[in-house]
């Protein structure tokens, strides 16, 4: 994987092969961040990366100037890799080992950007539950954006606060916001 833009643009990061991950492709990540550039001022954003895996999205956020990033994953090797890489690149990423839904039910923080990339093996019910917890607990700050990555054969457009979905290969980014002015 590589960092697409920002302070560490072009930097390649190689994750250990034993991590149980499916990183967001560079093409999809670049498209996502092109869209975010028009919607969020990352330099003022508190971000949450759920099912962070290798930390791919967190590194991109940090490289682009996001000052406060929390990366959550339940696999110890993923958390250790994110911590190590963040230290090496001097990035302000806090890696937390936790079950994502449990973390969401306990955090008092509001986030301007939430990204979730659960394993594709999870059911649509889990995706719906993840969405519900984020909005019921009001974890998304006003003007913020929640992006959920999922398989293209699933459809989440029926969920509240749905704005749009974009397909990149076999992945879909579902965009959710409190306000419908997000494009």
For residues 38 and 180, what is the distance between their CA atoms, to the nearest angstrom? 15
- Please name which of 125, 131, 3 lies closest in space to residue 55, comparing C-alpha atoms: 3
Decide if 27 contacts 169 (C-beta within 8 A): yes
DSSP string across 72-99: EES-HHHHHHHHHHHHHTT--EEEEES-
Side-chain-side CA neighbours of 146 within 13 Å: the count stands at 28
Q: How far from 24 is each of 120, 139, 179, CA to CA, in Å?
A: 12, 23, 26
pTM: 0.93
Q: What is the pLDDT along the chain (183 residues), one digit of tens a residue?
A: 889 999 999 899 988 888 877 777 778 888 899 999 888 999 999 999 999 999 999 999 999 999 999 999 999 999 999 999 999 999 999 999 999 999 999 999 999 999 999 987 767 788 999 999 999 999 999 999 999 999 888 888 999 999 999 998 888 999 999 865 444
CATH architecture of 37-171: 3-Layer(aba) Sandwich (3.40)
103: tokens are: 């973390």
What's residue 21's pLDDT? 78
What's residue 71's pLDDT? 98
CA 179, 182, 183: angle at the middle one, nearest 5? 150
Decide if 89 contacts 153 (C-beta within 8 A): no
DSSP classification of residue 180 = T
DSSP string across 18-48: TS---PPPHHHHHHHHHHHHTT--GGG-EEE
Decide if 130 contacts 101 (C-beta within 8 A): yes
Strands in 93-97's sheet, in edge-to-edge order, are 93-97, 68-73, 46-50, 111-116, 140-151, 171-176, 162-168
Domain boundaries, the chain: 37-171
């Amino acid at each position: 994987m590589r960092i697409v833009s920002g302070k560490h643009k072009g930097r390649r990061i190689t994750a250990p092969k034993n991590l149980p991950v499916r990183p967001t492709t560079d093409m999809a990540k670049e498209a996502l961040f092109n869209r975010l550039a028009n919607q969020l001022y990352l330099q003022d954003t508190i971000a949450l990366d759920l099912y962070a895996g290798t930390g791919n999205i967190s590194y991109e956020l940090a490289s682009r100037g996001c000052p406060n990033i929390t990366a959550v994953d339940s696999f110890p090797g993923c958390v250790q890799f994110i911590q190590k890489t963040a230290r090496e690149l001097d990035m302000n990423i806090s890696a937390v080992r936790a079950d994502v839904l449990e973390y969401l039910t306990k955090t008092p923080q509001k986030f301007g950007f939430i990204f979730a990339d659960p394993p594709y093996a999870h059911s649509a019910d889990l995706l719906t539950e993840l969405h519900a917890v984020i909005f019921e607990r009001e974890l998304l700050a006003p003007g913020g954006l929640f992006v959920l990555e999922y398989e293209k054969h699933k459809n989440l457009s029926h969920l509240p606060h749905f704005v749009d979905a974009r397909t990149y290969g076999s992945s879909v980014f579902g965009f959710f916001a409190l306000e419908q002015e997000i494009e």
